[in-house]
């Protein structure tokens, strides 16, 4: 339930860094999704202040992370529009940040495991290495798709897509594992889907508006008029050349 606040933090930081414009429809989308996800995951549970602080802090940092990622990907001066370039520069830093945690919490267990370093069965080792390799490929594909989506749309769209994934996971858990879903949970599910559908509709309308004709504001501020003037210049030069030929023929 606390994790549902992640989309709120992304919206707040997108407004702070001026990546999104403050619109009533956008605020409504975020409130519908966050409130719906909160209701959809609501259940009686034991409250833990430490866990609440950790999850809330993770949502806060996640909002900063994806907002800054959008700034890196969509800033032409940096030349990181290609997701492969972004991953080439960011993944080593992410590895250096995670490796100390891995060494502290999992290093000893991994070094003494009979499945890798102290293996006795070669077939088991190959299966473990194959699983790790497959996981690496899937992680690479996930990172590539995330960076590609942020570069083409926004970090807010990525967060909403992730929430749709969480909703599907919860529905599968209810169907396959027998988790009970109350009426309040179903109302939250409906609100969440309403917010996601509204966001998709707004994105479609916005992209259609961008592709339409734009009004001419002035000579210096209209790319269409500049293009028209550029194309008309060669035509004027051709007309002058033809007139010169006619004059020369008349004098002869």
Q: Average pLDDT in the 55-79 region?
A: 86
The mean of the pLDDT values for the chain is 78
Q: Give me the residue label for tokens 């926004």.
A: 154
Q: How confident is the model at residue 229 (pLDDT cuts 50, 70, 90)?
A: very low
**pLDDT tens by residue, 84-132:** 888 888 889 889 988 999 888 888 887 777 777 777 778 888 888 899 8
Asked if pLDDT for residue 210 goes beyond 70, the answer is: no
pLDDT of residue 137: 95
Nearest to 10 by CA among 24, 23, 20, 2: 20
| Residue 144, pLDDT above cutoff 80 | yes
**Mean pLDDT score, 54-65:** 89
Q: How far apart are CA 225 and CA 217, in angstroms?
A: 10
Q: Which helix (H) or strand (E) holds 237?
A: helix 223-251
Task: Give the three-state DSSP class for 215.
Answer: coil
Model confidence at 251, pLDDT cuts 50, 70, 90, reads low
3-state secondary structure 82-94: CHHHHHHHHHHHH
pLDDT digits (tens, 9 = 90+) for 146-194: 899 888 888 888 888 888 887 888 788 888 887 778 888 888 888 888 8
Percent of the chain at pLDDT > 70 equals 81
What is the spatial distance between Cα 20 and Cα 246, in angstroms, rounded to a whole number?
59
Taking the C-alpha atoms of residue 81 and residue 175, their distance in angstroms, rounded to an integer, is: 40
pLDDT at 226 over 50: no
User: What residue ranges do the domains of the chain occupy?
Assistant: 2-209
Lowest mean pLDDT across 169-183, 203-217, 218-232: 218-232
What is the structure's pLDDT at 141?
93
CB atoms within 10 A of CB 72: 17
Dist. CA 152–CA 2, nearest whole Å: 28
């Amino acid at each position: 339930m606390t994790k549902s606040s992640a989309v709120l933090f992304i919206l707040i930081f997108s407004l702070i860094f001026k990546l999104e414009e403050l619109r009533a429809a956008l605020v409504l989308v975020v409130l519908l999704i966050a409130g719906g996800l909160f209701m959809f995951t609501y259940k009686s549970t034991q409250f833990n202040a430490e866990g609440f602080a950790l999850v809330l802090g993770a949502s806060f940092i996640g909002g900063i992370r994806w907002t800054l990622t959008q700034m890196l990907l969509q800033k032409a001066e940096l030349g990181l529009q290609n997701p492969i370039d972004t991953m080439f520069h960011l993944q080593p830093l992410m590895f250096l940040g995670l490796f100390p945690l891995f060494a502290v919490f999992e290093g000893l267990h991994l070094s003494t495991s009979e499945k890798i370093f102290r293996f006795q069965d070669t077939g088991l080792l190959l299966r473990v290495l194959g699983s790790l390799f497959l996981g690496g490929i899937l992680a690479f594909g996930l990172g590539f798709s995330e960076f590609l989506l942020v570069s083409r749309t926004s970090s807010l769209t990525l967060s909403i897509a992730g929430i749709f994934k969480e909703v599907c996971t919860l529905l599968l858990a209810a169907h396959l594992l027998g988790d009970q879903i109350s009426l309040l949970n179903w109302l939250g599910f409906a609100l969440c889907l309403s917010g996601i559908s509204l966001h998709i509709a707004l994105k479609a309308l916005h992209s259609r508006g961008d592709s339409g004709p734009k009004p001419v504001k002035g000579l210096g501020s209209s790319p269409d008029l500049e293009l028209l003037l550029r194309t008309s210049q060669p035509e004027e030069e051709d007309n002058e050349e033809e007139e010169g030929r006619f004059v020369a023929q008349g004098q002869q």
